Amino acid sequence: VPPKVPLPLARTPGDAGQVLCEIPQSPGVQSLYIHIPFCRHKCHYCDFYSIVDARDRQGSFADRLIRELRALSPWGGRPLSTIFVGGGTPSLLSLPLWEQLLAALHEVFDLSNMGTGRGEFTVECNPETVKPDLLKVLRSGGVNRLSMGAQSFNPAHLKTLERKHDPASVARAIDMARNVGFERLSVDLIFAIPGQTLEDWRTDLNTVLSLELEHVSAYALTYEPNTPLGVRLARGEVQRVDEELEADMFALTRSVLHDAGLPAYEVSNFAKPGSECRHNLAYWRQEWWLAAGPSASAHVGGHRYKNVVRLDDYLGESRDGFAPIRDYEAPDPRRALSEWIMTGLRLREGIDARLLGARAEALDPRAPARVGALTHRLREQGLLAGCERLALTESGILIADRIIVDFLRALDP
Ligand code: SF4
């Protein structure tokens, strides 16, 4: 049995109590998420933590982040399999700070997988902030995948989202990235934007296909209550697209991308076979990942937690380099099984049927019978397929949320 080492986490700023996650020292946690909280402008739909006009704080943030990475490094896999730097807009971090951050990552973690096909190191970029110098620094620092936020290629819809980039900057950034040697590129899109028609969305899909990418993410617009767009919706200043149109857009996405050689491997994610995002698969398979930076969320040893959100709190509080955490959840078999079902059924690979039965039985000896009856009914309705692995069919995917709720209900007496 590999030795287990406790990861000491301070629950809240100033809290003396600690959470101890028992983590096997080998192979360690294979994935790492890093949150860079700077943006040039706040998009109206976005509820990720980020701040604008904060260039003067980038230096102190980078110092603090590097101290946190040093503290976390003993729990990182040797070597790490995936790193994802998200935000915010990581490509806004200045070049010297990127150089410092990459040097620190190489110093404190084993990144030897990143130079081979075995490791995946992704950085999110805003297309307008991508410059050849930055791309060269990222590439030589082991970054081998870029994820670009395009959201739409239609200026009117970008305006509704309050995205400030020029749609043509996406193709320019992709070209630049290819010239520097990036082979794994992804673009994020949003559909169901107020005022968007099915034909507008088809045009966006065709535009993204013309970029000949390996990976596309396409999400329906969500209205978070704490965002300007959510407030405008509540005031009646914008209207959601109607449900039927949104469903048509979703179905169109799946068929157009599938026919172009990018089948869905998750409800909203599409890739050429072999180009799936391994970091996100680690999330959806409920593997473990470390997290660094304000508001970054981690899952280790069954514990889930989120770092303090505000940059000031993150900069101000530290114990031996660790960030204080909030939203802590202790290991809980019921929650872990629910999360595994929720994310696993959104994957094309589905979930292991035998493991589902065993985990359900561990909660309640009668749960496997209820889950079995549900599985049988869904199969008869053509919504679920597979024996060893259970996966939603194309019709099942269209009502994935409802089916997942049914599975979660079947766990309870
Ligand atoms: S959507 Fe991206 S670029 Fe826009 S505010 Fe959010 S994190 Fe920043």
Ligand 1 neighbour 127 (Cβ under 6 A):
no
pLDDT at 2: 45
pLDDT at 292: 97
**Which residue of 42, 43, 47, 188 sits with most ligand 1 atoms within 8 Å of its CB, as the best mutation to test the pocket?**
43
Which residue is closest in CA terms to ligand 1's atom 2? Answer: 88
pLDDT at 24: 62
Residue 189 CA to ligand 1 center (angstroms) comes to 13
Rounded distance between C-alpha atoms, residue 335 and residue 412, angstroms: 12
Phi-psi region of 151 (alpha: psi -120 to 50; beta: other; left: phi over 0): left
Rounded distance between C-alpha atoms, residue 133 and residue 139, angstroms: 10
Q: Is 168 exposed, middle or buried (0-12, 13-18, 19+ CB in 10 A)?
A: exposed
Contacts for 162 with CB less than 8 Å, ≥ 6 apart: 41, 42, 43, 44, 45, 228, 229
Residue 201 CA to ligand 1 center (angstroms) comes to 21
Q: Which atom of ligand 1 is nearest to the CA of 46?
A: 6
Query: Between the CA of residue 239 and those of 149, 160, 356, what are the distances in Å?
Result: 24, 11, 40
Rounded distance between C-alpha atoms, residue 30 and residue 27, angstroms: 8
The dihedral over CA atoms of 115, 105, 285, 124, expressed in degrees to the nearest 10, equals: -80
120 close to 145: Cβ distance less than 8 angstroms: yes
Give the predicted TM-score (pTM) of the model.
0.94
Tokens 């996406």 -> residue: 170
pLDDT at 409: 96
Query: Between the CA of residue 286 and those of 196, 289, 300, 336, 386, what are the distances in Å?
Result: 35, 9, 10, 8, 21
Which residue is closest in CA terms to ligand 1's atom 6? Answer: 46
Distance in Å from the first CA to the final CA of the chain:
36
CA-based nearest residue to 359, from 373, 328, 338, 384: 338
What tokens does 390 get?
Answer: 């259970």
pLDDT at 176: 97
Ligand 1 neighbour 42 (Cβ under 6 A):
yes
pLDDT at 147: 98
125 close to 137: Cβ distance less than 8 angstroms: no
Ligand 1 neighbour 39 (Cβ under 6 A):
yes
Residue ranges in the chain modelled with pLDDT below 50: 1-3, 13, 16
Q: Determine which helix (DSSP H) or strand (DSSP E) holds 306, and give its type and residue range.
A: strand 303-307
Residue 372 CA to ligand 1 center (angstroms) comes to 43
328 close to 367: Cβ distance less than 8 angstroms: no
CA-based nearest residue to 263, from 308, 215, 297, 303: 215
